[in-house]
Amino acid sequence: MKKIFFSLVLVASLLQARADEGMWLPMLLGQQVYNDMVKKGLKLTKEQLYSINKSSLKDAILIFGGGCTGEIVSDKGLIFTNHHCGYDAIANASSVEHNYLRDGFYAYNMGQEIQSKLTVQFLDRIVEVTKEVEDSLKGLNWADRTKKLPDVFKAITDKVADKENGLTGRVYSMFKGNQYIMYVYKTYRDIRLVGAPPESVGKFGGDTDNWEWPRHTGDFSIFRVYGTADGKPADYSTANIPLKPKAFLPVSIKGIKDGDYAMIYGYPGSTNRYETSYGIKLKNEVENPSLVGLRDMRLKYMHEQMIKDPAVKLKLASNYAGIANYWKFFDGETKQLLKFKTYEQKQGYENTFAAWAKGKPEYENILTDYAANYAAWTPYSKQRQYLVEGVIGSPLASFASQLQAVEAALLKTGMTTADVTKAITASDAARKIFLESEDRKSDEKIVAAAAMMFYTDVDKSQHPIGFYEKMKAAFGDLNDEFTYKKWAANLFAKSLVLDEAKWAAFKANPDALTLQGDPAFDYAASFVKSYNIKYAPLYTAFITKNNELGRAYLKAIREKDTAAAAKMYPDANFSMRVSYGNVKSYNPGDAKHYDFVTTSKGILEKYVAGDYEFDLPAKQIELLQKKDFGQYIDKARGDLVIGFITTNDITGGNSGSPVIDANGNLIGLAFDGNYEALSHKIAFDKDLNRTINVDVRYVLWCIDKLGGAKNIIDELKLVK
């Protein structure tokens, strides 16, 4: 897409996808979109892209874990996805003695594959259910409609639920509630780790290179899906066998050229391309700066401990990666939204919309109502961010806040001894999980800093009543950093959550006064209760009204320009989408040009022995220096291609998505976007937007040459 440029003289439609913009529903591509794909170079038929009755590309694509995409690449259920998508499973399989996260892992036969807690979901079919939903909601006001909607969805999905065959339905709202589509999934529960490169390969460049091009990251991992002998989903069992899939992707090692067709299937998580200027103003001025500052603080203290101790690094690795990823994203998003003047562009469109809506009672007050809704919530937005990203950003505070369920069981009228026992048992199990990943040294610093930042940055009238007054009386000046350090040290030293003897005594004889007197519980509960009582209702009202206005606004926009509405795609919502574009270099700034590929030459240039982000295995350096590339060499360059970029439209959730050539062959795995276009959730830029992909030839080279797992290569269908 382009920067969405609006003017009062010539208004570009908010609906119409340009250039390579668009996350299209595979069942609803439309002839015009399909024709555009063919013009870009596609050689496949519509039925090969998506078919209910026959195997098609959609059958090789799956939801990996809870928020990524994966693809089947062999007739034995082999899965490729990103390293960062398999990160938790790799970390959980690791120990200090067998550190697969640090050293990498490959199973040289199926017996060596490692059990995981992962699930994958295959798309079985897509069903239009708009009429069924709307008929069930007819005549209801917005509040009643919102209340009834979950029951309506459940009634629809219950009809397709089949526990024995792992089938479940999920209804997705499209176009902000103007259309409803049910996706039916088959879930497999026996997923095993097959391979992963060393973390230095899978995360090469670390946070420095995150969201950046040029990139040299081997962001891949390998798993396998198992089922019963008759292909049904089942819990892990040695009796299970590799799944025989409906379809799998051949793997091309032919190489790519600038301009080649590229298509991406996957599950993009969320976009808000139809956001208003009011939402962008709040994001730019309050939400994003608050989030970035608070995550920056948390990352600083975690990193301090991770670089000191490999065991701590292993313990915090997954959480750190998740925090860091979107810390940089939201920082870049704000900068790009300001650079591209997206707020002003949206205002321009809204002016033309207001002129069109004048005299139309159903629509003429939409923008006025939006303005009033944002004005009512904006004063409290920072306080919510500081709670979620600051106070509850501490693992200890997050766990302690959950103990409110125990408090309720002890104090709420009508609760029984059985209720208390149930709450204590659940909290005890959650505590064990919390302690496994808790690093006290970093968390204590996070608690101290978050409490001080809340005090300093959030309006004093929104502080929890009495909390800071108690801190001042016990520990001193609230403007002194040392006060918060003393308070946090006392909290960690005295909390029953962190003391086995105190916790055991509390479990044996739970009482509300003991819990309420615990410093960790007092801290977390003070802030959470204050929010829940005073501000959560305001936030709920804000979101509810925004949803109501959003549905009306999108309905109006589609009426305003019916021709554009016919070519409109819905915002991403973690339903399967397909995007298309080309391999393409770009110019990020004056006198700058970025090639469409990176090579091993760049890896050697970036490599720093022993560096936290740019180290590599000695064997890899030796092989690259020898130019031992084998069949994976790019003949045109005489080098090993590491990554490449395309113009595809993707977002979070597409991590691990296959990049597919014109003939349906796998050429890479999508794993990132570029910094110059981090406003892509709101506005797609046709000139600067690029998807960053690891070249499948580098993936295979790492498996074969670096990992020695030729058995995996032999399982693939290579296209040469």
Q: How far apart are CA 502 and CA 65, in angstroms?
A: 37
Burial class (CB in 10 A: 0-12, 13-18, 19+), 167: middle
What the block records as the tokens of 402 is 């959950």
Indicate the DSSP class of residue 676: G
- Give residues with Cβ within 8 angstroms of 102, minimum separation 6: 94, 198, 199, 200, 310, 314
Closest CA to 192 of 161, 223, 235, 160: 223
Residues 6 or more apart whose Cβ sits within 8 Å of residue 431? 399, 497, 503
Residue spans of the chain under pLDDT 70: 1-19, 566
Quick one: DSSP state of residue 467?
A: H
Which among 343, 349, 357, 327 is positioned nearest to 279, based on CA atoms? Answer: 343
Q: Are 2 and 221 in contact (CB under 8 A)?
A: no
Contact 43, 662 (CB under 8 A): yes
Mean pLDDT of the chain: 94
| 84 in active site | yes
| Active-site residue flag, 116 | no
Torsion of CA 539, 540, 541, 546, to 10 degrees: 90
CA dihedral 636, 583, 678, 574 (to 10 degrees): -130
Enumerate residues 6+ apart whose C-beta is below 8 A from 186.
121, 122, 124, 165, 166, 167, 233
Which one is catalytic: 13, 20, 74, 84? 84
CA distance 49 to 713: 26
- Distance between CA 518 and CA 515 in Å, rounded? 5
Instruction: Tell me the β-bridge partners of 693.
Output: 644, 670
According to DSSP, residue 705 is labeled I
Amino acid at 672: D
What sign for the dihedral angle of Cα 665, 671, 676, 682?
positive
Contact criterion met (CB below 8 Å) for 36 and 19: no
How far, in Å, CA of 377 to CA of 543, rounded?
Answer: 9
Confidence at residue 317, expressed as pLDDT on a 0 to 100 scale? 84
575 catalytic? Reply is no
Phi/psi at 682 (nearest 5 deg)? Answer: -100, -45
Give the Å distances, CA to CA, from 33 to 42, 437, 678. Answer: 12, 47, 25
**655, 657, 672, 679: the active-site residue:** 655
Contacts of 139 (CB under 8 A, 6+ apart): none
CA 48 to chain centre: 28
The sign one gets for the Cα dihedral 695, 303, 319, 114 is positive
φ and ψ at 530, to 5 degrees?
-60, -45
The catalytic position among 20, 190, 207, 219 is: 219
Res 19: pLDDT:
59
The secondary element (H helix, E strand) that includes residue 334 is helix 310-339
For tokens 């600067």, the residue is 688
- Residue ranges of the chain assigned to CATH 2.40.10.120: 26-119+189-271+572-719
Nearest to 116 by CA among 195, 62, 218: 195
Phi-psi category of residue 516: left, alpha or beta, with phi > 0 → left and psi -120 to 50 → alpha: alpha
Q: Which pLDDT does position 567 carry in this prediction?
A: 76
Strand partners, 617: none
As a CATH number, domain 26-119+189-271+572-719 is 2.40.10.120
